[in-house]
Chain A
């Protein structure tokens, strides 16, 4: 069976791959959106912390025998803790300044973190085995679905939707939305906003660390994996609209799929298609697809 002259299994395969990259875009841009909303900081260190997450998983397995499953739990906590330290020691002094300062600082941090791993491990990339439970593929009849890809899509969707639920439907989320909208007044109601800001940054980068662990078996663990991804993720955030939670999730997944399909139909454009869409969106809706005009 063929669709537009492309065999169905090939099409479905690229669609799956698109959903996999879309899952990473969604998780990373979600963290960026939450951080930007609360801290007013464009977190350029996000890609580096995602990479650090993958490396921590690799180091855990290689040096201390920490399994993939434990890494999935422990690495986000560790990366979140690193985030808390970054927020307390550096970012908290920048909130009242222009966005540019936060961007420059986190960009510098990204270079430092990347440089450290590059110095230690080189750039060739290290392998990380897929855990036994998730290796192999499912035969769906019309295609073979590698279990690990299905796992990535399922887990990241669950995490994204859980985050959305917490922010939009719970009291904690109401605090978060209130503190994002009017931090001073929210603090005047007795809510410890500085603490929430710190934990939000920790949570956002913890999400990046989690994505890093998920990515480790899917891609090579390399010091450059973050900077390769982060540029696209920023485009996703711009397209979705800064600070919109559901917008980042949907845009992330959608653009992953569009990218995957572009690979099938016009492979030459697959690495630029996201930026073309970004340009069009910026022309037609400068605040992004889901953003609110200010």
Chain B
């Protein structure tokens, strides 16, 4: 196997919301084409990590290198333009936009994004509901839409926050298939999850987040032997 190339490197990342200090020096790396999962309990700082990478938190310090460029000082729209697609925990479907408008909203941030046809082939439900108001879609459809709209843009790094949360098992399964397809297509994925069983088969590596820091790193081949530790840790 070729030596992995670093795509995202987070070093000593601190982030605040107002006065509250959420991240206390996060350190981790995501290599090109890898699927990396951030596991942890609620409030451990996983969502904040994604938001801090995008510049959506309050004060930040430390370093975030994206494809060799320091992005910690950039405003969010410039960071996104470097090729990051973000799927927020609350899904962020716009009520004032139709399904298709939601899908077409994010501007191109890289070359070779998926075409609308490819996306509708991957998510046939969205084609049927293209004229519905975005928030009239079911929870599962909204999650598909939130995923689909960042695949069109040509983003190479996907930040996915709790995409399996609150969805029926059959939809979670479908999402798992989609993540596998995306890995095959060469996307780099940073997956924030609480659902260990969803993340375990997908992730090449996992980081356990606790109190705004990385508490452990687990490779795919270690997952079985550390399963008990993880389940206890995550409280599942």
Chain B residues with Cβ under 8 A from A181's Cβ?
94-96
Query: DSSP majority for the B interface?
Result: loop
**A147 on the interface (CB 8 Å rule)?**
no
Q: Are A185 and B77 in contact, with the CB atoms below 8 A?
A: no
Chain B residues with Cβ under 8 A from A193's Cβ?
77
Give the shortest distance, in Å, between A257 (CB) and chain B (any CB).
29
Chain B residues with Cβ under 8 A from A180's Cβ?
96
Chain A residues with Cβ under 8 A from B95's Cβ?
181
**A89 on the interface (CB 8 Å rule)?**
no
By beta carbon, the residue of chain B nearest A169 is B101
Q: Are A184 and B56 in contact, with the CB atoms below 8 A?
A: yes
Chain A 27-59 near chain B by CB (<8 Å), digits 1 or 0 = 000000000000000000000000000000000
Known: A184-B56, A194-B75. A189 touches B96 (CB 8 A): no
By beta carbon, the residue of chain A nearest B109 is A190
Q: Give the distance in Å from the alpha carbon of A188 to the alpha carbon of B106 in the complex.
A: 9
Q: Are B104 and A174 in contact, with the CB atoms below 8 A?
A: yes
**A171 on the interface (CB 8 Å rule)?**
yes
How many of chain B's residues have a CB under 8 angstroms from any CB in A? 23
Give the shortest distance, in Å, between B232 (CB) and chain A (any CB).
34
Chain B residues with Cβ under 8 A from A264's Cβ?
none
Most chain-B Cβ atoms within 10 A of its Cβ — which of A178, A185, A186?
Answer: A185
How many of chain A's residues have a CB under 8 angstroms from any CB in B? 19
**B88 on the interface (CB 8 Å rule)?**
yes
**B86 on the interface (CB 8 Å rule)?**
yes
Chain B 95-113 near chain A by CB (<8 Å), digits 1 or 0 = 1110001001111010000
Q: Are A189 and B106 in contact, with the CB atoms below 8 A?
A: yes
Known: A178-B96, A181-B94, A185-B88. A190 touches B77 (CB 8 A): yes
The chain B residues found within 8 Å of chain A, CB to CB, are 54, 56, 75-77, 79-81, 86, 88, 92, 94-97, 101, 104-107, 109, 150, 153
A-B pairs, top 5 by smallest CB distance, nearest first, are A190-B80, A189-B106, A177-B96, A187-B76, A185-B92
